[in-house]
Amino acid sequence: AEAGGPRGTAPGQQLRALFYAVTPGESSFSTVEEVPDYVEKSIPFFITFIGLEFAVSWIQKRKLPGRINDGISSLSLGILSRLPDVLFRGIELISYIYVWNNYRLFELPWDSPWTWYLTFLGVDFAYYCFHRMSHEVNILWAAHQVHHSSEDYNLFTALRQSLLQKYTSWMFNLPMALFIPPSVFAVHLQFNLLYQFWIHTELITKLGPLEWILNTPSHHRVHHGRNPYCIDKNYGGTLIIWDRIFGTFEAEDAKVVYGLTHPVNSFDPIMLQLRPLAHIWNTFWATPGFCNKLSVIFKGPGWGPGKPRLGLPEEIPVITGKEVPFNPHVPAYLNCYALVHFAVIVDLYIKLLASMTMLSQGTVLVRIGFIILSLASFGLLMENKSKAGILEIIRCLVFIGAYELDYFRSHFSFLGYAYEV
């Protein structure tokens, strides 16, 4: 800690945090305010491992593990999901701290290894319960399906997160607030999320005896598959033991075809977030009977009148192995254009995270608004939509105006002139 900065933020510890390979002594804190933002500090490692995945895939298979359009879409969804945290503390911690302050039954010591390990199990079991409900309850699935919408499976997919999911997952953690300190919970909430980054890859095959205990790339590939044998399987976060206990485990068998059973065919991050809710809204009003309307919301996404709660397995589309991912033809120069401008937005986003405490509320809101506008524009460009050019011209004009008014400044000062060009 002395050599690498405050406890919990040394580069070596941050790298090990991606694999949950940390000890209680180096990741226990007395207050929530002391807990590092492990997710934010992992961004350089995310970029490094994504680059490594591309390099290894090219060396081994002479092909890349993903596509530019899908990768930009995944990163756009990841950025979008984190923007609310720029403005206020996440609802998971707010609700947890409220229950802890007002209703806790007793208080486990924050510096005890036993508390640390109990929280590890508790957070992972809560994640299993939430994750399973997110596939079996339609309104929860509307938020979670964003993560499954990619037809590629790589480390980009791990960052493909829902903007709305955190507003449905918080309640599953509240029982722990009756006795586990918020600072311990805040650590494991991040570690559980970070662990799930590296399992989104096809480069790692099997991990031997670890497959019995841990959630691995092989297990999670099944979870992301739309093959009939993959549907509603392997919900674990860090551990696979919950799936084995509750009968939702399935080993990887036939080649997995990734994505949703009914692909969304879009790279627009706004549409990907909101269209499932619009579908539920339309289905709700089109379905006769009050009880049936409630079932549209609270039963499975495959449910319909006269069907079992989770729908009929025989209605799942058959996988032929010849499925072609959604991949509109886009000129090479447009791909390069989108990639360069997306890099600018990533730079602005990182700068926003690094300096948000020093910025005025107006500047923060302008930057967030511009980031959202840019992500939507890139999504339409990747689909080669006819209106994408108009929106992109508007976006660039907004950028020039905001840049000249000093609302934007590069994370790297030498890029200032390049941005203006």
Q: Convert the pLDDT of each residue in 54-103 to its tens digit.
A: 999 999 988 888 899 999 999 999 999 988 887 777 788 999 999 999 99
What is the model's pLDDT at position 415? 61
pLDDT digits (tens, 9 = 90+) for 348-387: 888 888 887 788 888 888 889 999 999 999 999 999 888 8
Read off φ and ψ for residue 79, nearest 5 degrees: -65, -45
Q: Are 139 and 279 in contact (CB under 8 A)?
A: no
Percent of the chain with pLDDT over 70: 95
Residue 347 tokens read as: 């730079």
pTM of the model: 0.91
Asked if the structure places residue 319 within a domain, the reply is no
Q: What is the mean pLDDT of residues 92-115?
A: 96
Half-sphere exposure of 191 (CA within 13 A, CB side): 30
Name 42's bridge partners.
Answer: none
Q: Tell the burial category of 263 from Cβ atoms under 10 Å away from its Cβ (0-12, 13-18, 19+).
A: middle
Give 166-198 pLDDT, tens digit per residue. 888 999 999 999 999 999 999 999 999 999 999
Answer yes or no: do 194 and 282 share one domain.
Answer: no
Query: Same structural domain for residues 67 and 198?
Result: yes
Q: Are residues 112 and 139 in the same domain?
A: yes
One domain for residues 306 and 347: no
Evaluate whether residue 21 is within a structural domain: yes
CA atoms within 13 A on the CB side of 210: 12
Is 205 found in the same domain as 130?
yes
Cβ–Cβ < 8 Å for 296, 263: no
Residue 62, pLDDT score:
87
Residue 1 pLDDT exceeds 50:
no
Is residue 58 a part of any domain in this protein?
Answer: yes
**What number is the average pLDDT over the span 228-239?**
96
Q: Are 186 and 278 within one domain?
A: no
The boundaries of the domain holding residue 53 are: 11-246
**How many Å apart are CA 404 and CA 150, to the nearest integer?**
37
Beta carbons within 8 Å of 128's beta carbon, 6+ residues apart: 235, 236, 237, 242, 243, 246
* One domain, residues 296 and 361: no
Reported for 146-151, long-range contacts at CB under 8 A and 24+ positions apart, including other chains, are 146/77, 146/272, 146/273, 148/224, 148/259, 148/260, 149/259, 149/260, 149/263, 149/264, 149/272, 150/70, 150/73, 150/74, 150/258, 150/259, 151/70, 151/258, 151/259, 151/263, 151/323, 151/325, 151/326
Whole-angstrom CA distances from 176 to 92, 121, 406 are 12, 11, 45
Rounded mean pLDDT, 320-332: 90
pLDDT mean over 287-309: 94
Across the range 19-44, mean pLDDT stands at 93
Q: Can you say how many angstroms the Cα of residue 249 is from the centroid of all Cα atoms in its chain?
A: 22
Average pLDDT over residues 107-121: 97
Q: Indicate the pLDDT class of residue 412, thresholds 50, 70 and 90.
A: low
Q: What is the pLDDT of residue 214?
A: 97
According to the model, what pLDDT value does residue 75 have?
95
Q: Are residues 238 and 385 in the same domain?
A: no
Pull the structure tokens for residue 326.
């959604």
8 Å CB contact between 263 and 228: no
Domains identified in the chain, total number: 3
Q: Which two tokens stand for residue 110?
A: 């924050």
